[in-house]
Amino acid sequence: MAFDIGLALLVLGVGAWTVAARDTFAAVVGFVAYGLLLALVWVRLAAPDVALTEAALGSGLTGGLLVGASTRLRRAETRAVDERQPATLRLAAAVLCALVSAGVAAIVLLLPEPAPTLAPQAMVNMAATGLGNPVTAVLMAYRAIDTLLETVVLLLALVGIWSLAPDRVWGGVPGPRHQAEPDGRLTFIAQLLVPVGILVGIHIFWIGSVAPGGEFQGATILAAMWILAMMAGLVDAPAVSRRWLRLVLVAGPAVFLTIGLTGFAVAGSFLAYPEPHAKLLILMIEIPVTLSIAATLALLVAGPPERA
Amino acid sequence: MTEATLYGLCSAALVGVGLFGLIMHPQPLRRILAFNLIGGGVFLLFGAVARRGAAAGLGGDPVPQALVITGLVVAFAATALAVALLLRLFQETGRATLGSDG
């Protein structure tokens, strides 16, 4: 318990620092630490699947995105620091935020007893899905519709980002061209880490059916490896109008939707799997979905096209 | 006090801290950061609820846990879109604030 109290205070302290820090870059670094600490909290809350997602996506990929943005905005950010609000306004805002916190805290303390739970139902029906990880069973079987919609949301966000491209580079290549330095440190790290990272990503995806892990965690690691290879200049980002790229991006949601619709014919409803083949069908969905999510996440970080 | 309650209270405080940053910071990038801070707090609240639902040999209810995984991915997509909009604004106008005159 002492550990938990210390961890909770540390998360709060780092969280408050990301708000209080004057320098935006420092705040972003604080946010990455905040994400990693939250991943520890998720382990303490017996949610290793979420811990993996938080560490890889919430801290790692989001951190990378924000570090890139704060570097580009550095000039504008230092100018904006002087625009501080008056003390009375700050005090009023602090009081209001404290009230919101108190409200959420009251909800936490007044949660119903005994706690409602779907864990028994999740366990009872898991055999039918052929999976061994109840969280993956929720994502891929019981609440597959959420996961399907989520893959679509990712694509919509990417369409939104691509539409920010100026006319002259429409459909072009995102991000600046990174030159590989044959003896550079980044190139060396990328050459060393990318092959290992790809294996780890595939492993985390594959193990997700029986143990903590899964398609989102695996896809995030794969995306990070692609980003690393691009940053080190080992590969260049593809032009966003390339047909193969578009195919990779929509393959996951398309296969998901097709198998979901087949459910009407073979199992009686949308996204229902016929029992003896459930695991096979889930795998047939998960493999293209993982690839699509990995590509989408990497391109979300890469941003809108900047070169023709 | 159980660990679920402890981290539940921690999540409540995080929501407040993040909200303060969201409404007080003039820089949009800091607001995006603060918004993600609130997100972390809200997800943690789900974690506390999931932990309370420990049953059937599981450490927590897998349904809210899976919802948080979905939520994290969607939050990332929204953050990426917000950052891209902000960078484009900066590229167009040379400023990265949302002042009343700009």
Chunk chain A into consecutive blocks of 10 residues (it has 308) and report each block's average pLDDT, rounded to whole numbers. 93 94 91 95 94 92 91 74 76 94 94 86 83 86 90 95 91 85 84 93 91 90 93 89 94 93 87 85 91 95 90
Top-confidence residue, A193 or B97: A193
Q: Does B99 touch chain A (CB under 8 A)?
A: yes
Q: Return d(Cα B75, Cα A150) in angstroms, integer.
A: 11
Same domain, A56 and A131: no
pLDDT at residue B102 tops 50: no
Domains of chain B, by residue range, sit at 3-93
What local confidence, expressed as pLDDT, does residue A94 receive? 94
CB contact residues (below 8 A), chain A span 233-272, against chain B:
none
d(CA A158, CA A162): 6
What is the crossing angle of helices A215-231 and A278-302, to 10°? 30
Taking CB atoms and an 8 Å cutoff, what residues of chain B touch A158? 77
In 3D space, the residue among A146, A156, A140, A148 whose CA is nearest the CA of residue A299 turns out to be A156
Q: Is residue A289 part of a domain?
A: yes
Q: Tell whether A182 and A276 lie within a shared domain.
A: yes
> CB B45 to CB A160 under 8 A?
no
Give yes or no: residues A41 and A126 share one domain. no
Among residues A65, A84, A103, the one where a domain terminates is: A84
| Last residue of one domain, picked from the residues A26, A61, A84 | A84
A240 plus A292 within the same structural domain: yes
Q: Are residues A234 and A175 in the same domain?
A: yes
Q: Are A162 and A299 in the same domain? A: yes
The ipTM value here is 0.92
Segment 10-49 of chain B within 8 Å of chain A by CB = 10-21, 23-27, 29-30, 32-34, 36-37, 40-41, 43-45, 47-49
* Nearest neighbour of A62 by CB, restricted to B36, B45, B99: B36
Is residue A286 domain-shared with residue A240, that is, in the same domain? yes
Q: Does A215 touch chain B (CB under 8 A)?
A: no
Q: Does A40 share its domain with A166?
A: no
Q: What residue numbers bound the domain in which A33 lies?
A: 1-84
Query: Does residue B37 have a pLDDT over 90?
Result: yes
Options 3.30.460, 1.10.3470, 3.80.10, 1.10.287; which CATH number does B3-93 get?
Answer: 1.10.287
- When divided into structural domains, chain A yields a total of 2
Mutate to test the interface with B, among A45, A140, A168 (most CBs of B within 10 A): A45
Residue type present at position A132:
G
Q: What is the CA radius of gyration of chain B?
A: 17
Contact between B9 and A157 using a beta-carbon 8 Å cutoff: no
| Other residues' Cβ atoms within 10 Å of the Cβ of residue B42 | 17
Helix A185-207 and helix A278-302: axis angle, to 10°?
Answer: 150
Q: Are residues A78 and A122 in the same domain?
A: no
Task: Give contacts of B56 with chain A, Cβ < 8 Å.
Answer: 119-120, 122-124
- A123/A261 same-domain check: yes
CB contacts of A60 in chain B (<8 Å) are none
A 123-142 → B contacts, CB under 8 A: 123-124, 134-135, 137-139, 142
Q: Would you say residue A92 lies in a domain?
A: no
Predicted local confidence at residue A81, as pLDDT: 57
